[in-house]
Amino acid sequence: MTSDAGYPMYALSEEHQAIREAVRAVADDKIAPYAAAVDEEARYPHEAAAALLASDFHAPHVPEQYGGAGADALATVIVIEEVARACASSSLIPAVNKLGSLPVQISGSEELKQKYLSKLAAGEGGFSYCLSEPDAGSDAGGMKCTAKPDGDGWVLNGVKRWITNAGESEFYTVMAVTDPDKRTRGGISAFVVEKSDEGVSFGAPEKKLGIKGSPTREVYLDNVHIPGSRIIGEVGSGFATAMKTLDHTRVTIAAQAVGIAQGALDYALGYAQERQQFGKPIADFQGLQFMLADMGIRVEAARQITYAAAGRSERGDKDLTFFGAASKTFASDTAMQVTTDAVQVLGGYGFTRDYPVERMMRDAKITQIYEGTNQVQRIVAARQLLAGIQSNL
């Protein structure tokens, strides 16, 4: 949000405050009560999915013209943050729906937008993002999945790995090589693949440290024939679309990290005021107060840079790439530190699954890894700084 002069305003609008209150009510009533069971049973959070769909928070970013809520980038960030505060796995429903569908929104034809964004908004299926492969993680340009012309359509072959909500989502944005000689310089294209397409199958769910309620599986494409209308943008524009998408969606991972950290801080504060040792609450001890203070400072700093990045995402500012990388890095490092400290505040209890902070600590770790490791994010941020692309406003 900016003033008429273009400077940041450091207060949420009444509309954004109302969105936070509405999402928090849904998260507290319909999501948080199932978070421990979702983690323990490593199952998809169907209760959360139903609650988010019923309240139109499952894909808030979809524009109104396609039947969506038309939430701006900051509102979408608030939705993800508040859901993550209750359950990180559940927050990946709105986050991944944005990640998977944003390429269509950015580069797709009007026909493609009308068809798939409308289906997403109506709750006819989630949207996943297929970029990584077994041998192409940080080096996404090293992908081997191919798309070859076939009459009026395309034939896709390959394996995509680490695909969030694979098997649950009905729709998939798939990046594939269309010109092996050009690779990232015009040799990769983007396509919409449907779960029901012949030749699409999925691997077994990965056995993960955290976010166990969000399935992560391989996606197998075995001679998958799709119509030509399902290409996203021009042939060869896929890699550029993928990078533009990540500039925006790294902000949503920052929001997820802020939410996880806030949830851990909330619980640690309550525990510290109730737990008695040496005849008084442990919150009375200065050493613990300093730890809680540092946790709160880090969470609020992470929130501010995330909201600043969301504003740039909404406006499409030239320094979005820097802020996307910076917010994701700082917020995820914060989530890891704050959740670890929350476990320490609870002591031995924090180390058990009877209390939520150990789950939050496990969930926080992935935010430092997916959508580009924090090491890669620091490279991205440094390149932006060295190129002079950073606003001081």
Classify strands 216-227 and 280-281 as parallel, antiparallel or unpaired: unpaired
Is 371 catalytic? The answer is yes
The string of pLDDT tens digits covering residues 117-168 is: 999 999 999 999 999 999 999 999 999 999 999 999 999 999 999 999 999 9
Q: Where in the chain is the domain with CATH 2.40.110.10?
A: 127-238
CATH superfamily of 239-386: Butyryl-CoA Dehydrogenase, subunit A, domain 3 (1.20.140.10)
Mean pLDDT of 205-213: 98
Q: Where in the chain is the domain with CATH 1.10.540.10?
A: 14-121
Mean pLDDT of the chain: 96
Of residues 185, 342, 199, 193, the one with CA closest to residue 260: 342
Q: Half-sphere exposure of 103 toward its Cβ, with a 13 Å CA cutoff?
A: 31
Classify strands 231-232 and 188-194 as parallel, antiparallel or unpaired: antiparallel
For residue 79, the tally of other CB atoms under 10 A from its CB is: 34
Of the residues 133, 218, 314, 371, only one is catalytic, namely 371
CATH (one of 1.10.3720.10, 3.30.365.10, 1.20.1050.10, 1.10.540.10) for 14-121:
1.10.540.10
pLDDT above 90 coverage of the chain, percent: 96
CA distances from 218 to 68, 87, 129, 169, 265 (A): 29, 24, 12, 13, 34
pTM score of the predicted model: 0.96
The token pair that represents 355 in the structure block: 């209390």
The string of pLDDT tens digits covering residues 27-65 is: 999 999 999 999 999 999 999 999 999 999 999 999 999
Is residue 283 helix, strand or coil? Answer: helix
Q: How many residues does the chain have?
A: 393
* CATH number for the domain whose boundaries are 127-238: 2.40.110.10
Radius of gyration (Cα) for the chain, nearest Å?
21
CA distance 241 to 236: 10
pLDDT for residue 3 is more than 60: no
Asked if 113 and 104 touch (Cβ cutoff 8 Å), the reply is: yes
What pLDDT was estimated at residue 390? Answer: 76
The token pair that represents 213 in the structure block: 């309620």
What pLDDT was estimated at residue 68? Answer: 98
Is residue 171 helix, strand or coil? Answer: strand
pLDDT above 70 coverage of the chain, percent: 97
pLDDT for residue 4 is more than 90: no
Mean pLDDT of 18-31: 98
The string of pLDDT tens digits covering residues 258-287 is: 999 999 999 999 999 999 999 999 999 999
The token pair that represents 128 in the structure block: 């996943």
